[in-house]
Chain A
């Protein structure tokens, strides 16, 4: 029961990837403050120390079964700092394709399996929109689950072709992709992309991807959704009815490491979006604070290329295994919305004018589906099947460097040092480490903790449904978060 000054602990908070607990201090009808706790620690950063450098490509993807390729890409890029290898153009496209298949599958899985089933909860049974939404999106039993699983599985057939299997491929290497793509395979892949496009255009959007990608304002988005019965349009109608644009508000800076390399740049640009202006990314100002996490306290933060926190359950201020990464000491938010803000997509800019919110985060993922699938058709078509896909230059036994990429959920970085052909330092900062960070030494809460403040609680609610929407709107990946 919610009452004045109640402490509420929600866990296991499921339909997220991995383990999550959310602790709330509530008043009668509102969340006053929140603490986000990651309760599982596995120790990949320490496990990797002492391993042959190239073996990072076996261990790193296994940090996460849902962002496995992103972990491969970050590890391969960090290892590439030990080598003069330059990824050949065709190899770059092949890696982009494999990475995009994973990222888009994650957006798709999040929407159908993780996020939407909350609208089938009994608490909404009296809403006018309830019956068709519950029939469509109810967990496991709704009509969408089966259809979405089938569309997703057929989409993942691209992984069978280009990466051997998913998750946990070894096809992504510092010098490119192990899997050259032949002329007939180009057509096979293009056909699989078109099959997914067909599902998206028929069922998810009910419109051409290009038409969705061109929606330029909140007003245009809502006009587009009216009278449309596609899955995304139905979400937008519910979002309006429930005013999800008022939920999960944040006023943070947004960061992107840049997604899908194309020539010298990216399909989605690198940078930091602060109050409407884009600034260059200064990775040297990234550092992790462990004041509220179960690690031995350090004299100061020097960044992930130098710091290697040691687990310590004795820290009495701690409530999470998640460290608190900060950019120049500031909280930043990452994810699809952040990528589109940094890249200047007009719909993202309009939706987030007054800050991030639940509707904007969901819409940004859907927008990425609409924008990236056409880009993939371009990449596969641009591949010269007679060109090299990989550069085999050897890795130097000594060196250091960072590997940066964008996972589905946002910015992912690996920082490593090598000596005598072995790793002697390895640090990982994952997207949800940024988004679900605990407080830092100044007591500043992380993005989700901020987003939860002020979340309404319905009369008699024991585990507020609005909290569920806010938490899942970030699409957290907890196994990446702590690793």
Chain B
């Protein structure tokens, strides 16, 4: 398992994570920031545990993020 974390409030809504990993990320129509699907928030960090097979596309999302708020652990 790997843990994906997002510092959501720093998101600028560029949409890149959604472009590369649409099953894990979606744009919120409410505040224009991306949402980490199935994640839970703790002190400004949204995180979710996912299976190994999601590693590659989410690493790509993390790499593409212009404000570097996506992290993968594990």
Query: Are A and B genuine complex partners?
Result: no
Chain A residues with CB under 8 Å of chain B are none
